[in-house]
Every structure is written in C-alpha cells, then in structure tokens.
Amino acid sequence: MKIALAQENYIVGDFEHNIEKIINAITVAKAKGACLVVFSELTVCGYSPHDLLYRNDFIEKCLMGVEQIAKHCIGISAVIGAPSYNPEPTGKPLFNSAYLLSDGEIKSVHHKSLLSTYDIFDEHRYFEPNHNFTLANLNGKRIAITICEDLWDNQQTSVGMRQNKVSPMAELKKQNPDLVINIAASPFSYDTDSHRLSAFSELAKGLGIPIISVNQVGANTDLIFNGDSMALNANGVLVKRLNSFVEDTQVVDTETDSFIDAKNQFNPNDYIAQIHDALVLGIRDYFQKSGFTKATLGLSGGLDSAVTLALAQKALGSQNLRVLLLPSHFSSQHSIDDAVALADNLNIKYDIINIKDSFDTINQGLNPVFGDLPSDLTEENIQARIRGVMLMALSNKLGHLLLNTSNKSEAAVGYGTLYGDMCGALAVLGDVYKSDVFKLAYYINREVEIIPTNTIVKPPSAELRPEQKDSDSLPDYPILDGILREYIENQKSADEIIELGFDAEVVTKIIRLVNISEHKRFQSPPTLRVSSKAFGLGRRIPLVARL
C-alpha cells in the first residue's frame, strides 16, 4: 500500500490557505501513485485553535472545509483532522476527529479518546472523549486511525508515568488491524523528543503491524512543531522519516519499503542544532503568519541580544532588521565595539543613541518626588525602561516588531525590568537557559565567527551600574541552570533538589527568586517554546499565593 505522509505548515483559522495546501498535497500524492495521503491533527483549522473552537462560525468553516477537501479525494483517499459535532445531547459539544475521505465523500470519522490536558494542552476544555472504537476499511485493509496520544498508553504526571484509564490502541487491536495511522500535533521539545522514535518502534513491534505517523510542522505563536513524521514497519524498524522543521511530503510503500532510513535520526548531542532550527522557524512563522516582515532589537554587546540577532537574521534576512545600540554612562566601550562588530558581520543597519540625556531629564522630573533618596534599583530600571521607550518608538514609527532578548535563566529569577528589557512582541530565547545560549553562540559561529568571541567569553553583565556582573548576585550559570531545570522542568521540591547535591542556601535563594517573579513573567511577551516546560500557558502558577 503506497501511503503519502503530508507534513505541512498551517495557519490557525486561515481556512483558504490551509485547504489549498491540503488539496495540493492530495494532488501531488496522487501523482506519485499513493492510494492514501495522511495529514496531521486538526489539519483544516491548524493546531491549536484554542477558544476559536467556541465559535460556531469557526466550526462551520471547519466542516465545510472537510466537505470541500473530500470532493478532491477521487482515485485517492485521505485522512485529515478537524473537529466534529458530538451528536449526543450530553457532554462537550465537539470531538477532536480524524476523517477518512474517499470517493469524494466522508467514509468514516474517528474521534480522539485521550484528550491532551496538561502543559500547553487544554483539549478537555473543548472536546468530549471518545468511547467507541472501530477500524476504518480501505482497499480491503483494516486500519486503526488514531489521533496523537491515543496511540500510547501512558502519560507523564506529577507522580511519574501513569497508565491512561482507557487504552484506545488495546481496544482497536482486538479488531485485528493491518495498519496504524496516527495523526498528531505534537510540539517540539528538546528534552523529550529523543524518546519518540523508540516509543513508536516498541509500539509497532508490540502490535506487529506498521505505523504511519504524521505530525504538524511550523510554529503557531509560542508552539513550534518539528514534524518528524515517520513510518515504521511491522518489526518496529524505521522505514521513512521526514525532514524536521520543514514541510515535507514523502511516499512510503508498506509492502515493499523495509530499509532503515537513518538520515535525520534524532541525535541527543545535536539538541543545540535542533533548538537553533526550532527558534529560526519560530521567528519566521511568527512574522510570516502575522503579516510582518521587519524586526528590531536593542543590541547591548552582550550574549543574549547577539544570539537573538543572529537567529533573527537567519529567519528574516539582514535587510529586514534594524537595531539600536543604546549605551548609557555605565556601558563599556567594548560592549559598543562588540555590538558594532556583530551588526557589521551580519550586515545589519544600526543606530547608536546614548540614553544619558533622557535618563538625566527623567530623573530631574522625578526629583521633587524622590528628593535626596539614594540611588537604587529604581535608577537601573529607568535605564532599561528608556531603552524600551526608544525601541518601541522605532517599532511604532517604522513597523519593525521588537524582539525580546531575555533568556530563560534570567526570566526564571526575575533578572529583567518589566516594561524595560522585558518588552517585545516575541521572546526568542525565553525558553533557553543561559548555558544553552552559550552553546547556541558557538553553534552559530561553527563555520565563521559571526558573534564576536569577546561577546561570548566576557563575564555576563547588565551594565546598569559600575562594574556590575551577573555573578555578583547569582551562582555560576551551570549551577543556576541545574537548579532551575530541577525546579521548573522536573517539578522537584527544594528538599529534593538539595538531595541531588546542590547547596541548600543557594537552592532556597533561587527558588525564592523564581517564586517572587511570577508577576513579571505574567506580563512577558509570548515565548518560543523549545522545552517540555516553558514559561507561559504551559505553566500556570497563581500570582497571589504562598509558594
């Protein structure tokens, strides 16, 4: 059976765009001799539509889209994803469904049982879980059509891996399927994706039948989907693996194809390359899908803005970038030199505006209120906020979206000024710990020095007061990031982290800093997600609470 895997990049709610793309893929697959083309989860509307699923006109457009696509399924069948109405008068009004289209019409509809409701997922908010399991029939083959997590039996919870209450695949297996189709919308995360192939391989081996899995590619706001669609044979051997982070449509023959196509296999050592590709795609799609082309940022001469600019240049091109250097009286000459060198290396237009006059004028304005009160964090924040005003002015006047350059380590401990360096339309590095930002810089420089070496090797500093260094008040980044990973990604308690060998006083201090910074992160820009636990909708901590 020749099956096409259509790994495509959709825009949430852009039905015209999505449907055209789907119909094109059907045409291409048919031309390549495929008898079936498989798409990803919620194909027609894109994943995730969130509360657009509450709008009746949105659902109607989805259903009309399915009908329209079905008409193109002549001489070829397709499995596409879209919501469907729950015909029962009880429960949530929708199902998250897979439609088998053939002979110009809908042949069967299969609903998702295990509704993802954790981290960034809220499917129980919209959908009723399925309890009826039936195979699809196509060309004499019995096909188990599954949606995302329905294929596996367990889920990560606060108390470790737990079995799901229902096992859709166990139910479907009883009916002796010949083949499993899985349509997914599984966002990339560098710390979990390495398990995927082995999990699928075990599953195929256990079932003794081939698995075809198609995952969405592209970024929608904060979520980056890498695709990584694959086909495995009945022995659990990888037969076909699609390219990551790009659209890709390939045909596999489940009868004859049996070799391992090892190309593009996930290598855990390559996680920095994967993060790099994810972030470039994340920036590009954020801009393209919201109709913007140009970006700006504040180039400090430090590491974070340098890496952000290099990534943005890859995503948008030098001609679409224009940056500001905004030194104050605390900025070192080497910072300015490093920033200029980077802009020159990337051929990006820059302006230098010294913020000293603005800083002095604002302080004079505040003098009647503050009188002789000593200088403190307030004045550091004023500098950061004046930079925010300048960058947003450029953004407003010239139409360049402002990129935020904060990294995950500083976002975690609250080392950033709200409405200052925390401004931006999109946080590029907000889910990348500083230790990984260093690695990204070396990766960016792997062939030629783009980011000046001095930017990478000098001690990190916010340069908001004389001789300031990050290490004045924070532990070294490998230690800081180690603690943060245990607390944020692994959800360990202070006691558990201390048991791992970290210094008790440092752990207590860092966790306190994370907890008292929730209010800042609440007003952060959307953050490109590359880990299994990014700040944002996937992590919901009450602001007013005793943590």
Give the active site residues.
41, 112, 148
What whole-number distance in Å separates Cα of residue 433 and Cα of residue 476?
Answer: 12
CA-angle at 213, arms to 212 and 217, nearest 5°: 140
* Choices 87-95, 197-205, 253-261, 313-321; region in contact with a second copy by CB under 8 A: 87-95
Considering Cα of 498, then 500, then 502, then 507, what sign does the dihedral take?
Answer: negative
From the list 90, 256, 269, 333, which residue makes contact with a second copy (rule: CB under 8 A)? 90
Residues 6 or more apart in contact with residue 145 via CB below 8 angstroms: 79, 98, 100, 108, 110, 135, 136, 181, 183
* Choices 140-148, 270-278, 285-293, 500-508; region in contact with a second copy by CB under 8 A: 285-293
CA-angle at 282, arms to 223 and 119, nearest 5°: 15
Name which of 155, 145, 144, 229 is nearest 186 in CA terms.
229
Name which of 389, 379, 371 is nearest 465 in CA terms.
379
| Coil vs helix vs strand at 315 | helix
Alpha carbons within 13 angstroms on the beta-carbon side of residue 403 total 38
From the list 255, 344, 357, 472, which residue makes contact with a second copy (rule: CB under 8 A)? 357
DSSP-derived letter for residue 115 is: -
Site for a second copy in 211-270 (CB under 8 A): 219-221
From the list 118, 176, 442, 457, which residue makes contact with a second copy (rule: CB under 8 A)? 118
The 296-335 site mask, x for binding a second copy (CB under 8 A), equals ----------------------------x-----------
What whole-number distance in Å separates Cα of residue 85 and Cα of residue 44?
Answer: 15
CB of 230 to a second copy, least distance (A): 27
| Coil vs helix vs strand at 377 | helix
* Choices 119-127, 176-184, 297-305, 437-445; region in contact with a second copy by CB under 8 A: 119-127
How many residues make contact with a second copy (CB under 8 A)? 99
From the list 87, 263, 364, 505, which residue makes contact with a second copy (rule: CB under 8 A)? 364
Secondary structure string (H, E, C) spanning 459-526 = CCCCCCCCCCCHHHCCCCHHHHHHHHHHHHHCCCCHHHHHHCCCCHHHHHHHHHHHHCCHHHHHCCCC
What whole-number distance in Å separates Cα of residue 179 and Cα of residue 208?
Answer: 9
From the list 122, 171, 178, 261, which residue makes contact with a second copy (rule: CB under 8 A)? 122
CB of 184 to a second copy, least distance (A): 18
The strand ranges marked E within 339-476 are 349-352, 401-404, 426-427
Tell me the DSSP string of 9-63. Answer: ---TT-HHHHHHHHHHHHHHHHHTT-SEEE--TTTTT-S--GGGGG-HHHHHHHH
Closer Cβ to a second copy, 90 or 256, answer by number: 90
Closer Cβ to a second copy, 38 or 326, answer by number: 326
Contact 392, 423 (CB under 8 A): yes
From the list 524, 530, 531, 532, which residue makes contact with a second copy (rule: CB under 8 A)? 524
| Coil vs helix vs strand at 197 | helix
From the list 286, 415, 477, 535, which residue makes contact with a second copy (rule: CB under 8 A)? 286
Contact 43, 22 (CB under 8 A): yes
From the list 108, 137, 194, 354, which residue makes contact with a second copy (rule: CB under 8 A)? 354
* Choices 28-36, 89-97, 242-250, 442-450; region in contact with a second copy by CB under 8 A: 89-97
Phi, psi for 310 (deg, rounded to 5):
-65, -40
CB of 436 to a second copy, least distance (A): 23
* Choices 134-142, 258-266, 374-382, 457-465; region in contact with a second copy by CB under 8 A: 374-382
Name which of 167, 153, 158, 184 is nearest 79 in CA terms.
184
From the list 28, 366, 479, 506, which residue makes contact with a second copy (rule: CB under 8 A)? 366
* Choices 102-110, 227-235, 392-400, 471-479; region in contact with a second copy by CB under 8 A: 392-400
Q: Between 333-346 and 303-316, two packed helices, what is the crossing angle to 10 degrees?
A: 10
Contact 311, 280 (CB under 8 A): yes
Name which of 109, 57, 52, 51 is nearest 80 in CA terms.
109
Closer Cβ to a second copy, 188 or 271, answer by number: 188
Site for a second copy in 58-77 (CB under 8 A): 59
* Choices 91-99, 186-194, 196-204, 456-464; region in contact with a second copy by CB under 8 A: 91-99
Closer Cβ to a second copy, 28 or 63, answer by number: 63
Closer Cβ to a second copy, 91 or 206, answer by number: 91
From the list 386, 480, 497, 507, which residue makes contact with a second copy (rule: CB under 8 A)? 386
| Coil vs helix vs strand at 262 | coil
From the list 111, 173, 289, 400, which residue makes contact with a second copy (rule: CB under 8 A)? 289
Site for a second copy in 143-202 (CB under 8 A): 157-159, 162-165
Site for a second copy in 410-429 (CB under 8 A): 418-419, 423, 425
- Residue 109's Cα: distance from chain center in Å? 29
Is residue 376 at the binding interface for a second copy, with CB under 8 A as the rule? Answer: yes
The 465-504 site mask, x for binding a second copy (CB under 8 A), equals --------------------------x-x-x---------
The 431-470 site mask, x for binding a second copy (CB under 8 A), equals ----------------------------------------
From the list 227, 302, 388, 416, which residue makes contact with a second copy (rule: CB under 8 A)? 388
Closer Cβ to a second copy, 282 or 460, answer by number: 282
Site for a second copy in 1-60 (CB under 8 A): 11-15, 17, 46, 48-57, 59
